[in-house]
Amino acid sequence: MTDFFQLLIAGLALGAIYALVCLGFVIIYRSTGVLNFAQGGFVVLGGYLTHQFSVVVELPFAVAVLLAVLIVALVGMLLERVALRPMIGRPVFATILVTLGLLYIIEQACTAIWGYDLLTLGDPWGVRTVSVGATAIKLLDLWTIGAAAVVLAAFFGFFRLSRIGVAMRAAALDPEAALAQGISPKVVHALSWAIAGAVAVLAGVLLAAGPRGVDLTLGPIAYRAFPAMILGGLESAEGAVLGGLAIGLTEVLTAGYLTPNAPWLGANFHVVMPYVVMVVVLVVRPYGLFGTAEVRRA
């Protein structure tokens, strides 16, 4: 029971990070109809910037994270203006390739500045644990769950209660009607990229915190959230959260129980298991658990 509780907390923490990554994908997909593969680059850039401000410049960790969030949000808006806005009206496949190109550009820029070595983040949690009864829980996991919960609550509050958030939702649901009401699609797209960059930084910081460190492999780790996004539905922020938690728990519980007891599956089967879940769900519900089925008139 102690092991299960430890795995449960670790799974929820990993799922919370996946949920943050998924939100970045979903907000851009809802506003532009494009899968943003540059999201992994934002995760990596956010981790490196936090290292720069926290370890090199020696700012307080919270200030370092805030500065990284602001910078990557501005980078997201800049990339949308320079590289994505000219693609409006072009084939979606071409736009997706542009985001893939942006991913490689961001990664190469990071290596040119910070190199390929693993860098520490200077986070305040490290590898410390707290005891809950007979269970030792990583302090990082508790902070991850708490921080992600605050960010997700702020995210949904912004989109449901603020005028800007409501305008962005309206533009995503019916762009023509929103334009008729004076809502600029260009502003909505720019804000979508800024918010996607901001949540990517938080995901990158939480992934790299503790003993993990920052390097280019943060991007591929972030893309493990892809099954969570598909599972929840590409257009559903709520689905992104629930999908992230489900995939995080699946990955951790598989590593804790199935992999040790079924070695013939391979040492890394826990990485594959989320994709197995994704395929099973898509066979039953092709648009995901919370996605909206596309209706076509004959």
Q: What is the pLDDT of residues 5-40, one digit of tens each?
A: 888 898 999 999 998 888 888 888 887 778 888 998
With a pLDDT cut of 90, the percent of the chain lying above it is: 26
Residue ranges and CATH numbers for the domains of the chain are: 2-284 (1.10.3470)
**Between 298 and 253, where is the model more confident?**
253
Structure tokens at 129: 């644990």
Residue type present at position 229: M
Average pLDDT taken over every residue of the chain: 84
pLDDT over 80 (residue 184): no
Give me the mean pLDDT over the 231-246 stretch.
82
Percent share of the chain, pLDDT over 70: 92
Q: Please say whether the dihedral angle defined by the alpha carbons of residues 70, 127, 13 and 146, taken in this order, is positive or negative.
A: negative
Please give the distance of CA 1 from its chain centroid, rounded to a whole number: 31
- State the average pLDDT over residues 280-290: 78
Burial code (b: 16+ CB inside 10 Å, e: under 16) for 193-207 equals: bbbbbbbbbbbbbbb
> Is 255's pLDDT higher than 90?
no
pLDDT band at residue 298 using 50, 70 and 90 as cut-offs: very low
Q: How far lies 91's CA from each of 6, 19, 34, 80, 174, in Å?
A: 47, 28, 10, 16, 20
Both structure tokens of 160: 């449901």
Q: 125 and 146 in contact (C-beta within 8 Å)?
A: no
What's the confidence (pLDDT) of residue 108? Answer: 93
Beta-carbon contacts of 3 under 8 Å, excluding residues fewer than 6 positions away, are 256
Residue 1 has pLDDT above 70, yes or no: no
Amino acid 191 reads L
pLDDT in tens, 99-144: 999 999 999 999 999 998 899 888 888 777 787 777 778 888 888 8
- Would you list the DSSP string of 2-32? HHHHHHHHHHHHHHHHHHHHHHHHHHHHHHH
pLDDT at residue 3 is higher than 50: yes
